[in-house]
Structure 1
Amino acid sequence: MTSNLIYFSQSAELFEGPIFDSKYELLYFVSIFDHLVYCYNPKTKEMLSLKLDSPTSNVYIVSEKLVLVASKNGFYEVDFKTLSATYKFQIDIADSVRYNDGIEDAYGRYLIGTMGYPEVVKNVGNVYSYHNGKSNIIIKNTTISNGLAFTKDHKTLYFIDTPTKKVGKYNYDIETGSVAFIDYVIAFNGQGSPDGMCIDENGMLWIAEWGGACVSQWNPLTGERINEISLPYTNVTSCCLDQDANLYVTTARAESSSNYNNGSALFHIKLN
């Protein structure tokens, strides 16, 4: 593994939601409170951005340089070839919440969680599933709905509600899109709290640790922490794997004035 390489940093408050398009080798991520969505080309080093009219949170890949972006005011199709955004739909959520992490299932459903906004409030969030104009709540009464990851067969969904400091395991029915809670499979006992996550080819979970200054790798079958990569930012927000199974990691500003990194950053960590 090579040393962590910082690709991009800003004075932004909260970088989040990295997702890698392996087909076109493009990385997308958001700066939530700047209302920005980014498209980064690792080969050319081109960084494009587009600003929406409310906090952004999650990106779903549609095609080359075309993505669906969740923002508080609705879901927009963003075209990075023309740098334009088109409103597509909205889910019926309360004014007192915003969207956070999400994922697309193998059937084409958009799963996404909510959390209190502008203030975090206990149990006001839910995880929604949206498809063909209809939405359903699949996980209720969450507080800070974060990482979502599917196993290869899409029969298991892992989910993080950050204040629980645990990773939940759910049976997932791909035909109906319904979930059934099984158990908590990972527990965090240190300073870090689980935030965003992704799953690798071997079914291991990579989890960004808010307050923990690292991204850690876990075996969800045993609950064992098997790897940890430290970062020079306290609040690590999310991660994704590129076409070579290397990590992209986003971070956020820390509230403590003792933290010398007073903005947000995007890192690339070469595992292979």
Structure 2
Amino acid sequence: MTQSLIFHGNSELLEGPIFDTKNNCLYFVSIFDYLVYFYNPQTKEILSIKLDSPVSCIYIQEHKKIIVATKNGFFEIDFNTLKKKSVFKIDIDDNVRFNDGIKDPNGRYIIGTMGYPDVKKNIGQVFSYDMGQYKTIIENTTISNGLAFSLDNKWLYFIDTPTKKVAKYAYDLNTGDVQFDSYIIEFLGDGVPDGMCIDNNGMLWIAEWGGACVSQWNPVDGNKIQQLELPCTNVTSCCFDNEANLYVTTAMSASANDIYGGGLYYLELNKK
């Protein structure tokens, strides 16, 4: 594995990396800087747009055009023109903000919430938005985080970070409803699960906040396959590019030795 730091903007909390496989580019956010980033791996171009409240989750629309979740609503951003416009809202309380999310295969926007500015137990939930309507599909969460669909789209994997577990829900593609099935993975070390993604073999890759690594897990038997260490404590999320290599976001920590937290990393697992 070859590891490289490809961006460091002194961010407190980088999050939400998502790779546009059709156009070969990356998006990510700096939550408390209200910034959304576009990165072109070929040209190394980085663009950013600032919103008016904490940003969290990105949904790809087309080349250089995305929808991003902010505390004050969902905005369409066009990196071709560097313009933004409000597109829809999900009503949330003042003491929460949006966090991690995913789009289902039918185009529904799924996104969770957490306490803000203070984390409070069980005040979060996970919403599903479609065609101007939204509903709650998971209730009483604390820090709604990683979401990933199984390769056959029958299961939705979900992380509520303080549980230190990955939950498995049966997912109905027709209705967008979920049904809790079981907890499939439990973290017993220092790291707690944050964002995650799934690889082409159906294995889950999970960023470990406080664990200084990304770990790979088998969701069928719950066993850890491997872990990839990073030079910073708080690892927040990850996604694959078209070569099955990993982009990883991180956050600052209280450690004086943690000078690389808040950076974007590239982990080359498969050399060309």
Q: TM-score range by the shorter chain?
A: over 0.9
CA–CA distance in structure 1, aligned partners of residues 159 and 262 of structure 2: 22
Structure 2: stretches of 5+ with no match in the other structure: none
CA–CA distance in structure 2, aligned partners of residues 151 and 260 of structure 1: 34
- CA distances 1:160-217 after superposition (whole Å, capped 9, x unpaired): 0000000000000000000000000000000000000000011000000000000000
Q: Secondary structure at the match of 2:145?
A: strand
Partners of 1:254 and 1:262 within 8 A in 2: no
Match in the other structure for 1:250: 249
CA–CA distance in structure 1, aligned partners of residues 111 and 90 of structure 2: 10
Match in the other structure for 1:182: 181
CA–CA distance in structure 2, aligned partners of residues 21 and 262 of structure 1: 25
Match in the other structure for 1:12: 11
CA–CA distance in structure 1, aligned partners of residues 265 and 220 of structure 2: 28
What is the deviation of 1:11? 1.2
Taking the TM superposition and a 5 Å limit, the aligned residue runs for 1:85-100 are: 85-100=84-99
The AA in structure 2 aligned to 1:164 is T
Structure 1: stretches of 5+ with no match in the other structure: none
Q: Secondary structure at the match of 1:177?
A: coil
1:142 to 2:141 alignment: yes
Match in the other structure for 2:218: 219
Partners of 1:71 and 1:99 within 8 A in 2: yes
Taking the TM superposition and a 5 Å limit, the aligned residue runs for 1:228-247 are: 228-247=227-246
What is the deviation of 1:152? 1.6
CA–CA distance in structure 1, aligned partners of residues 121 and 255 of structure 2: 23
Match in the other structure for 1:23: 22
- CA distances 1:97-142 after superposition (whole Å, capped 9, x unpaired): 0000000001100000000000000000000000011010000000
Partners of 2:27 and 2:37 within 8 A in 1: yes
What is the deviation of 1:256? 2.8
The AA in structure 2 aligned to 1:264 is G
Match in the other structure for 1:160: 159
Taking the TM superposition and a 5 Å limit, the aligned residue runs for 1:189-208 are: 189-208=188-207
- CA distances 1:71-118 after superposition (whole Å, capped 9, x unpaired): 000000000000111101110111110000000001100000000000
CA–CA distance in structure 2, aligned partners of residues 260 and 137 of structure 1: 38
CA–CA distance in structure 2, aligned partners of residues 262 and 81 of structure 1: 30
Q: Report the CA distance shift for 1:193/1:82 in structure 2 as closer, same or farther (over 3 A).
A: same
Match in the other structure for 1:261: 259
Partners of 1:199 and 1:206 within 8 A in 2: yes
Match in the other structure for 1:114: 113
Q: Percent of pairs identical after alignment?
A: 63
What is the deviation of 1:20? 0.1
The AA in structure 2 aligned to 1:210 is W
The AA in structure 1 aligned to 2:264 is L
- CA distances 1:131-157 after superposition (whole Å, capped 9, x unpaired): 011010000000000000001221100
Moved over 2 A (4+): none
Match in the other structure for 2:49: 50
Match in the other structure for 1:64: 63
CA–CA distance in structure 1, aligned partners of residues 161 and 89 of structure 2: 25
CA–CA distance in structure 2, aligned partners of residues 118 and 27 of structure 1: 28
What is the deviation of 1:263? 4.4
TM-score w.r.t. the length of structure 1 is 0.98
CA–CA distance in structure 2, aligned partners of residues 248 and 260 of structure 1: 19
Partners of 1:54 and 1:73 within 8 A in 2: yes
Partners of 2:231 and 2:260 within 8 A in 1: no
Q: Secondary structure at the match of 1:176?
A: coil
How many residue pairs are counted as aligned between the two chains? 270
